[in-house]
Structure 1
Amino acid sequence: MTTDRYRAFRELHRSGDPLLLPNAWDHASAAALAARGHQAIGTTSLGVAAAAGRPDAVRATRAETLDLAYRLRDLPTLLTMDIEDGFHDDPAEVAGFVGELAALGVVGVNLEDGRPDVRLAPAEHVAAVIAAVRAAVPRMVVNARTDAWWLGVPAPLDEARRRAAAFRAAGADCLFVPGAPDDLVGLLAAEAGLPLNVLYRPGGPDLAALGRLGVARVSTGSLLFRAALGAALHLTDAICAGRDAGLPPPPGYEEVQALVQPSAT
């Protein structure tokens, strides 16, 4: 992998094919995905929070996020971290935290505009956060997320367009629009002026179809974490019921043990 990790990650959004970004929640999941050859992986704030016994999206996992970045620092992959809204109202504080992540080798962050009170933060405030991060940590890929559809705001397309323009002007590298309807994805990709990131949805368009719509990046979000949790429950229920779970064989003990490098803690 090139030593210019920032440039390498940026270029993965401009290859012509969508970048599949699987989202990990701990060292084992990240190491397993890296071992499968994924050039870049992200984290899921829900997975990180739930694994730590904390709620998501309420600024409860700043320390856990930083600790996870420390644990993942030696993996042979490019790492982008979901940092909710930056864990602080002050743009300078958010920029300082992103600087701490950069010092650990993180090359991207995901910043969202949704708030726990089911409202969008003012676009001007989110833009100020993005601008502060860009100024303090210029070699960081900032994925600006709008929850216009997830939070059900009026006229979500118009709101997403307005926010895309504000985030782009502030220095965002990508626009993330989870929940956007499939029939609007192509329009957003054409109009955003930034590489478009969407959330993979089981039963929705596959990578090839999303690529034809102009999507640059496809994240799995919390899906892998929830699928792993679901598989554990399914297997446990099958054992209790005395039936075959019908799941593929899990990784063996030695395979999982091999994911932990001597320098990992």
Structure 2
Amino acid sequence: MTFLELHHRDGPPLLLPNAWDVPSALAFAEAGFPAVGTTSFGVAASAGTPDGARTSKDATLALVRQLAPLPVHVSADIEDGYDDTPERVAAYVASLGADGINIEDSSAERLIDPRRHAAKIAAIKQRTPDVFVNARVDTYWLRQDARRAASLERARVYVEAGADGVFVPGASDPADLRAFADALPVPLNVLVVPGVSLAELGELGVRRVSTGSLPYRRAVDAAVEVAACVRDGRPVPTATPYPVMQERLVRYRDSRGK
């Protein structure tokens, strides 16, 4: 299936796990996920910088290119496109070689004019029409104009510009999700909603669910827990054996050489 087709297949929504480096992407791929996304937070945080400050541009480019040999579709989280100029954003997307991208309608934690965001989407689709453009609406995420009507108005502008999907992170109310799904002619993407299953989200009309930075943040918590267990004399959690992860990396290295 193409990345686009994964959003339109029958059954539960596409679950897109978000990786922050090669080993995390390899693990997701080996676990059977047909597509893997990147997380701008995880990529930026791994370099010691905050998310959303356009600092992850080069690292995201490098990571997406590193993931090219994997037998999965790759979607890149590119914040706001790392630029205000639509043509430069489109050139960056073309350089990635990704199957899809997320691009958000906010910069420096503030919503931008939806027409400016739509111009970026149109430029991307003109230059790379086969890239799945997931237009992110940040109203709920930033709690700025977080109203259903305002969010839908933005989303419609992006769809008219050529967006293949709409992502509304932070939206979790079932009534809102149903309204978005019913009103939009493209797949609706949301973040994991605690207490709501993938199947239940699918019944509301959601077609894609992203883990976002949750796996990265949980991995950091797990690392601290291991050290704390050793320090405190508690049982140490098990982990994937070293030889297994090493062999995974050897196979990845060899695949890049072909």
TM-score range, shorter chain: over 0.9
Distance 1:198 1:33 in 2: 19
1:250 maps to which of 229, 234, 239? 239
Residue identity matched to 2:182? A
Partner of 1:59: 54
2:17 equivalent to 1:22 = yes
Distance 1:204 1:122 in 2: 34
User: C-alpha displacement at 1:229, in angstroms?
Assistant: 0.5
Partner of 2:181: 189
Partner of 2:96: 101
2:200 equivalent to 1:209 = yes
User: C-alpha displacement at 1:263, in angstroms?
Assistant: 4.3
Residue identity matched to 2:248? L
2:34 equivalent to 1:39 = yes
| SS in structure 2 at match of 1:225 | helix
Residue identity matched to 1:146? V
For these two proteins, the number of residue pairs brought into alignment is 252
Moved over 6 A (4+): none
Identify unmatched segments of 5+ residues in structure 2: none
Residue identity matched to 2:195? G
Deviations 1:26-66 (A, max 9, x none): 00000111011111010110001111222211111111011
Identify unmatched segments of 5+ residues in structure 1: 3-7
Residue identity matched to 1:52? A
Partner of 1:5: none
Deviations 1:216-245 (A, max 9, x none): 000000000001011001111111111125
Matching of residues 156-195 of structure 1 within 5 Å: 156-183=147-174, 184-195=176-187
Partner of 2:139: 148
Distance 2:232 2:100 in 1: 45
Residue identity matched to 2:3? F
| SS in structure 1 at match of 2:107 | coil
Distance 1:220 1:177 in 2: 13
User: C-alpha displacement at 1:155, in angstroms?
Assistant: 4.8
| SS in structure 1 at match of 2:206 | coil
How much identity, in percent, do the aligned residues show? 44
User: C-alpha displacement at 1:110, in angstroms?
Assistant: 0.4
Cα RMSD (Å): 1.3
